[in-house]
Structure 1
């Protein structure tokens, strides 16, 4: 295996060269770091453009084995002491342009207060995997608290989805969907693992088995205020599930958000939910939306009637296999669009109309349909 050489170096902290005394990374302080990608001789690679992943660690932690194997000597049970990296203070990405990069973040309140050496690790990637680079710095000081930090009493904004951002709460997934949580906070998200301050997910109210998501959070490129949690579930039971996610910002303000989803076996039934047209009411056009649980293309038919039952337009289409997530999980179809005209191309009158949406699976030899109303202005 080829491993990248340590060719990334930290050059400045808060616009001060690291050859000079630099600021300590205090809790709640704003911190900016800059660096460069170099060759093995220390020369800046001015033609290097890509993405940097930076991880800042708190001070090392002294730990002790649990002795759960029962090993002992004449003096009793044997315990071993060892040192591990500190908790992750920040993990984010930055753009590398002409070999130079810069990123910033707010140091979480939950760092260890005693001042000591932390670590920042770097990994740089381009479209050419053979040009990946890595590096680290162990000279940064972390500890203390910024007594002049601005006040913040507002928790993060949380938006939850399953599999992709088209998902609507209550929609359909297969037994192994992925949680997608979009988090935003002006001071960044806390991943420092302070007691009780983890990013956690609770499934169906089971608070005794929280899912800790800190390691699944990634701040956006060049933006520490926004980030995403992506977590894969496996083999969930069929039926309705409720997921509650709790997240904290770097000031330890928390927020919670909830989403519901229904797990179906893709081979059991053809299911459609959340049938609607958008916009509704409409003037010039409307799209017909629905969720389904099929990984195969489905035949779709929309029939539009007057309230007295006269058929005015029939629209036919097919869902795309790409709408689903590769294994039969949740999908949103919005492939059929209507311009408000009848089968002869004439504009129909304003008012309320009824439509019947039919969806058919040729593989399952099953068809389902839903009836809704729409309004033309």
Structure 2
């Protein structure tokens, strides 16, 4: 329905309440929301077809759900190949208003917001299947949970839901697990190394893995995926809503949590997460904020070092998203220039030797190779050499630094 119709029905549904005059639609009432065109249905839960007597989804039980992407007539779209984003919700919870205004009345309202599982699954020929283990932290009271779906293939999309799935209780045959999830903490991307540099608006990247899955329900006290910045326990960074499972896996996933306007200097991030059995682990990393007011380089090195026939140069910078011109000059100890390398680094592009472009994943650059020959193609002798790395960003900023390398041949 158009927005104007939705607005009209919403205001009329509360009768003669004078508050309905306090809300106005500013915009074209004929516009409609961009709803997905096609539908998604659930065909089976734990191999039991929908419509038959179904098992209750219990805590610590492994659940497998299958379904299909359907056309407007309800037929399976056999030509649909893409990705499904399923979200499984626990039962609705009744909350109360805060009565901040002394003249207001206490009101009850219902929200269904606790996520049991948030995943990503492949859709092949219109059919999908995904599995997960129900976290221990669900509400054990029996009631209706909800399956919510969204699928896309880059051209068209679909959506659907099922809101009569019984959730509650705990499985009798749950396996034992006393080990918390594996946690790796990076800044911005997996190329990051502890002590690396970022700009003032970095993103915390957390890679999580557990044989039974990560707990994202958040109903247990202190059982959120939670981070602290600089050991500030008064300002916890709750990351549950930023977690997504890896494709076709309930055992691994990642968190992408943005930070804003950090102070220049050294910082520490610590992340604590729980698995669905309520075992916890922690991961931490250190980083240095260098504001984009000046260009900065860090962790400038070549590997292997020493080397014989080939080495790779790499470095970190604080100019993500910008084209970088990189020049590496190799000198003898006496100061004679023997080799100059030029590379253009273009963000988010793959390596292309023909175009002389090296991929930049964000804040770290690698893939600049040298075969140990001078500018005339002759082998240089073994010994210690000095190299200078000069990086110029497209905004005109420049930074350079010197390092040593050793040739063994």
Task: Look up the match of 1:162.
Answer: 187
* 1:299-333 CA-partner distances (Å, limit 9, x unpaired): 43334355x54647322224424179xxx996212
Q: Mean Cα displacement is larger for which, 350-359 or 171-180?
A: 350-359
Q: Which runs of no fewer than 5 residues in structure 1 stay unpaired?
A: 73-77
What is the CA distance between 1:139 and its match in structure 2? 2.0
1-structure distance, mates of 2:256, 2:179? 24
Which portions of structure 1, spanning 4 or more consecutive aligned residues, are displaced by more than 6 angstroms? none
Task: Look up the match of 1:273.
Answer: 298
Q: Residues 340 and 25 of structure 1: is their aligned pair in 2 closer, same or farther, counting only changes over 3 Å?
A: same
1-structure distance, mates of 2:66, 2:34? 27
Q: Is the 8 A contact 2:69 2:80 kept in 1?
A: yes
**SS at 2:347 equivalent:** helix
> Which of 247, 251, 267 is residue 221 of structure 1 equivalent to?
247
Q: Which runs of no fewer than 5 residues in structure 2 stay unpaired?
A: 1-32, 350-359
Task: Look up the match of 1:75.
Answer: none
What is the CA distance between 1:102 and its match in structure 2? 0.4
Task: Look up the match of 1:14.
Answer: 46
2-structure distance, mates of 1:293, 1:262? 10
* 1:261-280 CA-partner distances (Å, limit 9, x unpaired): 2222212x221110111233
> Which of 25, 31, 36 is residue 63 of structure 2 equivalent to?
31
Q: Is the 8 A contact 1:298 1:361 kept in 2?
A: yes
Cα-Cα RMSD: 2.5
**SS at 1:215 equivalent:** helix
> Which of 397, 400, 405 is residue 368 of structure 1 equivalent to?
400
Q: Is the 8 A contact 1:289 1:332 kept in 2?
A: yes
Task: Look up the match of 2:270.
Answer: 244
What is the CA distance between 1:124 and its match in structure 2? 1.4
Q: Is the 8 A contact 1:318 1:335 kept in 2?
A: no
1-structure distance, mates of 2:221, 2:146? 21
1:1-377 equivalences in 2 (<5 Å): 1-4=33-36, 7-72=39-104, 78-128=105-155, 131-193=156-218, 194-267=220-293, 269-294=294-319, 296-305=322-331, 309=334, 311=336, 313-322=338-347, 331-350=363-382, 352-360=384-392, 366-376=398-408
**SS at 1:320 equivalent:** strand
Task: Look up the match of 2:20.
Answer: none
2-structure distance, mates of 1:373, 1:185? 41
1-structure distance, mates of 2:249, 2:173? 23
2-structure distance, mates of 1:126, 1:358? 43
2-structure distance, mates of 1:321, 1:44? 42
1-structure distance, mates of 2:406, 2:45? 58
What is the CA distance between 1:169 and its match in structure 2? 2.1
* 1:107-151 CA-partner distances (Å, limit 9, x unpaired): 1110111222111111111221xx321111122111111232111
